[in-house]
Amino acid sequence: MRMKSTCVMMALIMGGMQVSLADEETSNTSTLELDTLSVTASADASAEGLSPAFAGGQVAEGGRAGILGTKDNLDTPFSITSYTNEFIQDRQAQSVGDVLRYDPTVQVTRGFGNFQEAYMIRGFTTSSDAVAYNGLYNLLPRQYIATELFERVEVLRGASAFLTGANPLGGAIGGSINLLPKRAPNYDLNRVTLGASMNDKRNISADIARRFGDNDEFGVRVNAAHHNGGTSIDDEQAELNLFNIGLDYQGERLRLSADIGYQNNQLDQTRTNVRLSGVNSVPSEPDASKNWAQPWSYSNEEDKFGTFRAEYDLTDEVTAWAAYGMRRSEEENSLANFTLTNANTGAGTFYRFDNAREDRVDTGEMGLRGDFDTGLVGHDWVVAYSYFQLETKNGFTYDVSGTRTNTNIYQPQYVSKPAFTSTAVSGNNFDSPSLNTRTKFNSFAIGDTLSFMDDKLQVTIGARHQAIKVDNYAVNTGVRTSYEDSKITPALGAVYKLTDQVSVYTNYIESLVAGDSAPSTALNFGEALSPYVSEQREVGLKYETEKFGTGLAYFTTDEPRTLTGDDNIFRESGENEHQGVELTLYGKATDNLKLLGGLTWLDAKQKGTGNATTEGKRAIGVAEWMAVMGAEWEVPEIKGLALDGQIHYVSSRYANATNTLKLDDWTTVGIGARYLINMGNQDLTLRARVDNLFDRDYWSSANDSGQITLGAPRTVSISATVDFY
């Protein structure tokens, strides 16, 4: 499924452009006053539109709290950060992970086996296929989401089953991630960006928008991008092609929006995770640019997706909405994942694993929201229904013994692609994958936010009934086993504004994950457990002036565990107990100095494991301390010049449940510069960035399976953005 040429696409991008400068904070919040209508650019077809950018433009004043809608930071009993497109551009971020590594509460890691991004929030992993797009789960590409596809990255910290529904992919225990699509601003936008980085990686993108109609009620925004070339890691190659159209209509009572997108991401010889097997220590870090991936290994993903959303004001107090989304995806890969067997020498093995996958996602929601008063008490109420279905087809072949080959992380051995032998194991058909899993989620939610004392005190109460059905189909035979259950997850939150600048809040909220089935070794083999409910309790303090904001939160989350007891019965028993403190800060310390960062302390322990070697030990991959501090200085003596720097610290973590395999702590430094030049009818923005400035070699993370990932070496990137007007 490789694209032979992108010339036609890029010619369409470049043809006939007329442009205007558009800062993100202006383009998303400006309102054009018309005779009969006020048009405001909105990512979600809502009357409220995007939350305005906070001072400094790096984050917004608030974000979406699920079905409760967009809320200001001081007015919600939850912790939300929304990173703006201005920040995404200035840091030259190319994926969701590139944005979230600036968040002090998120540890960016990699998923199991393949090259999927994953994000550890409050010690729990949310994979990239568990990310929501405009409120709907699993619509964007499953493994890698390019930044050209979205306007903002919103992080809702903590459990969110009531707010967003149970995550169908099983994540979101510690937090959920929502990406907002791009919409046409209230004036013409035409922007072209050219970029380059180490080892001849090049990219070009275009962002074009127009509004039409007597009142500019129709909007069109087109984004296209092409990335190609090497990376800072030896011999890695990546190519990405992307095209997306965002449409919107904003009438007096009716608001509509739609997105149609395509992404093709192709990876060649991408460095794999390292699985540790039979070792009693973690190996010393190789040179960060070293690549032990085999030259024939690849992973390709092609995604087509679309969404539609409508909102209509039934009365001045009641609004109805509905949304639908779909994704159709095809993946192919040939992998040579590395298993390390000698920590001293770095020796290990790989074997060939070929896999094909097809996804078919259909999802939607509908609801009503409104407001009314009962005496001195105000009510903002909402009722909502959501639906999700994912069908996954799969076909694979792996050859553990026939193609197993020796290699080394310090001195990699490269071989020609081995042919499968008679010992190879196949599941279904690689060329025509068969149905593997069908997942269906249905839920109904109702909530009310009660306002007292002229809105100084707001109390949110609500609950969601979630029905879960999962059909699994055995490989080759297609024999079906089913799981079906349901649960009600309540939520309670309160926020009190001590002053216009200070609020305190608390919440109790749950997350929900489908229960596991008993393994074949248990007496109750095949028995499905009830859905796992994780309970979160949180208290916090928020402070904001017009220019600077900070938040402090303490939370506890208990995640159920399972074990097979002495009676050989598989059951829910014990829990992972996570408690932590988060400090976040954002905004402008002075007129010329922007700050963004914070600190997280996290105590994540395994409880009730039934095994003395793991009881009370830290959860795999979870760091006790994380800190990120970023600063940007606009040089007053040189108009248009800004310099920035960032320090990122992660403390030691463990790569196994018994805590015998320990990864060292690490610190990296990044620096960057931005220079804006006005050239008559054009504005040129030049950006340069150096990540991992001191070229540190470090194990960046360990995922839930104990696979460890080597951090990227020093990486230099530059870009030039031209806005024509």
pLDDT higher than threshold 80 for residue 60: yes
pLDDT value at residue 29? 38
Q: Tens digits of per-residue pLDDT, 451-472?
A: 999 999 999 999 999 999 999 9
Cβ–Cβ under 8 Å, residues 398 and 424: yes
Span between the terminal Cα atoms of the chain, in Å: 38
The span from the CA of 359 to the CA of 438, in Å, is 10
Q: What is the mean pLDDT of residues 707-712?
A: 95
The answer to whether residue 33 scores a pLDDT higher than 90 is no
Helix (H, G, I), strand (E, B) or coil at 595: strand
Residue 44: per-residue pLDDT = 64
Outline where DSSP puts E strands in 399-501.
405-408, 425-427, 434-452, 457-473, 480-497
* Among candidate residues 307, 302, 295, the one with its CA nearest the CA of residue 271: 295
Query: What per-residue confidence (pLDDT) applies to 34?
Result: 34
Q: Which residues contact 220 (CB under 8 A, 6 or more apart)?
A: 184, 209, 210, 211, 212, 245, 246, 247
* Cβ neighbour number for residue 177 with a 10 Å cutoff: 23
Q: What would the mean pLDDT of 238-263 be, rounded to a whole number?
A: 96
Rounded Cα–Cα distance for residues 61 and 482 (Å): 44
What pLDDT, on a 0 to 100 scale, did the predictor assign at position 3?
38
Between 220 and 114, name the one with better pLDDT: 220
CATH superfamily assigned to domain 7-724: TonB-dependent receptor, beta-barrel domain (2.40.170.20)
pLDDT of the residue at 112: 67
Least reliable range by pLDDT among 66-70, 316-320, 510-514, 568-572? 568-572
Q: Averaged over 167-195, what is the pLDDT?
A: 92
Q: Is the pLDDT of residue 241 over 80?
A: yes
Pair 96, 88: CB distance under 8 Å: no
**Cα(460)–Cα(330) distance, rounded to whole angstroms?**
42
Spell out the residues 6+ positions from residue 611 whose beta carbon is closer than 8 angstroms to its own: none
How many Cβ atoms from other residues are within 10 Å of residue 523's Cβ? 12
Which residues have C-beta within 8 Å of that of residue 204, sequence separation ≥ 6?
10, 13, 192, 193, 194, 195, 225, 226
pLDDT digits (tens, 9 = 90+) for 125-176: 998 889 999 999 999 998 899 999 999 999 999 999 999 999 988 778 999 9
Place of tokens 């320090």: 647
Residue 45, pLDDT above cutoff 70: no
Q: Judge whether 449 and 66 are in contact, CB under 8 Å.
A: no
The residue ranges of DSSP E strands in 186-236, in sequence order, are 189-197, 201-212, 218-230
Angle at the Cα of 46 (from 43 to 48), degrees rounded to 5?
95
Q: Report the pLDDT value the prediction gives residue 28, as an integer from 0 to 100.
A: 40
Place of tokens 């970023």: 630
Q: Determine the pLDDT at residue 10.
A: 36
Asked if the model's pLDDT at residue 216 lies above 50, the reply is: yes
Measure the CA–CA gap between 389 and 136, rounded to whole angstroms. Answer: 12
pLDDT higher than threshold 60 for residue 14: no
Q: Are 278 and 254 in contact (CB under 8 A)?
A: no
3-class DSSP state of 377: strand
Q: pLDDT tens across 652-686, in order?
A: 999 999 999 999 999 999 999 999 999 888 999 99
